[in-house]
Amino acid sequence: MLLVRTYVERSSIHGLGLYADQFIAEGSVIWELMPGFDFVVQEKELENRPAVIRDYVDRYGYYSESSQGFVICADDARFFNHSDFPNTISISQDLTLALRDIEKGEELTCNYYEFDATAVQHFSRESKVS
């Protein structure tokens, strides 16, 4: 669950992005996995689901080894875009902090490789599609 005020807007990185709607100080908790709000889908639960559901989980979820399933954020955290030089840091698969001060109106970015066990596979598919 996002713990700071944000909004979604077009992104120069990719499609839509997540933007700070307030100043966020370095070290602030930006996102935390909140059971009961965010949810985890076990891989075997997806096996017999329609492709459209699997595609949604692939695009907006991430595989968490600690949770042994795909985490689906119930809020706009799914609009975090990847950056090799992000302004946030995932110190675990369950917690994201501001890596530096983030100004209101700045896009929030993260490094997918820090928390998503399937990011390499996802980016390989994306580059073949583009």
| Residue 86 within any structural domain of the chain | yes
Rounded CA gap, 65 and 125, in Å? 21
Q: Is 129 within a domain?
A: no
From 43, 20, 23, select the one nearest 107 (Cα to Cα).
Answer: 20
Task: Report if residue 1 sits inside a domain.
Answer: no
Say how many domains are in the chain: 1
Domain membership flag for residue 102: yes
Residue-wise pLDDT tens digits, 32-49? 989 888 888 888 888 889
Give the residue carrying structure tokens 């501001």: 98
Pairwise CA distance, residues 72 & 101, whole Å? 27
- In a domain, residue 128? The reply is no
List, for residues 52-84, the tens digit of each pLDDT value: 988 888 877 888 777 788 888 889 998 998 898
Is residue 130 scored above 90 in pLDDT?
Answer: no
Residue 78 located in a structural domain: yes
pTM of the model: 0.78
Residue 55 to residue 43: CA distance in whole angstroms = 13
> Which residue range forms the structural domain that includes residue 75?
6-122
Q: What CATH number does residue 14 fall under?
A: 2.170.270.10
Q: Among candidates 96, 34, 93, which has minimal Cα distance to 64?
A: 93
